[in-house]
Amino acid sequence: MNSLAYRRRLLGAASVAVAIVFLDRVTKIWAEERLPGDPITVINGLLSFEFAENTGASFGMLRGAGPFLGLAAMVAVVVVALALKSVVRRFEVVALGLIAGGAVGNLVDRFIRGEGLLDGSVVDWIRLPNFPNFNVADSAITIGAVVLVAVALFSRE
């Protein structure tokens, strides 16, 4: 494997991840300061911004499992770094950066918002009907995963 090519992919994915972590952090700070007790309706019946805290994973699963989920996020970042050794397409690099950035974004919340190590709650603030609140980090992980699945399904190699 070409180490220069790997370093370029790593730098590309890290750049995307840093941008996601920054955007996620800024929006969560805004949500925490602006939204508690005063949600904002953006599109009536379709989209609102509403503050929520989540000690588990999506859809209310694994409540209180912050340390486990924090460890899983760290493992995800290592897996992304290893996966970058074998990807060839630029959008795969971006997708892996989205996943890493989302994992780190939620990991930051678990680290800074709890009393113990990784037991903090994650700030969720985007609300759609019949769907749990989510955030920028969650969106990045989902988009990155969808892109990787699409590549796997529709790749012609």
- State the pTM of this model: 0.92
Bigger pLDDT: 66 vs 109: 109
- φ/ψ of 6, rounded to 5, equals -65, -45
Overall average pLDDT of the 84-98 stretch? 94
Overall average pLDDT of the 72-79 stretch? 93
Overall average pLDDT of the 117-140 stretch? 93
Instruction: Say if CB 122 and CB 65 are below 8 A apart.
Output: no
| Residues known to be catalytic | 124, 138
Which residues partner with 124 through β-bridges? 52
Measured CA to CA, the distance from residue 93 to residue 106 in angstroms comes to 20
- Mean of per-residue pLDDT scores for the chain: 92
- Counted domains in the chain: 1
Cite the DSSP H helix spans in 84-155: 90-112, 136-154
pLDDT of residue 111: 92
Sign of CA dihedral 13, 147, 125, 52: negative
| Full domain range(s) for residue 101 | 3-154
Measured CA to CA, the distance from residue 60 to residue 26 in angstroms comes to 24
What's the angle, vertex CA 135, arms to CA 134 and CA 137, rounded to 5? 120
Overall average pLDDT of the 7-21 stretch? 97
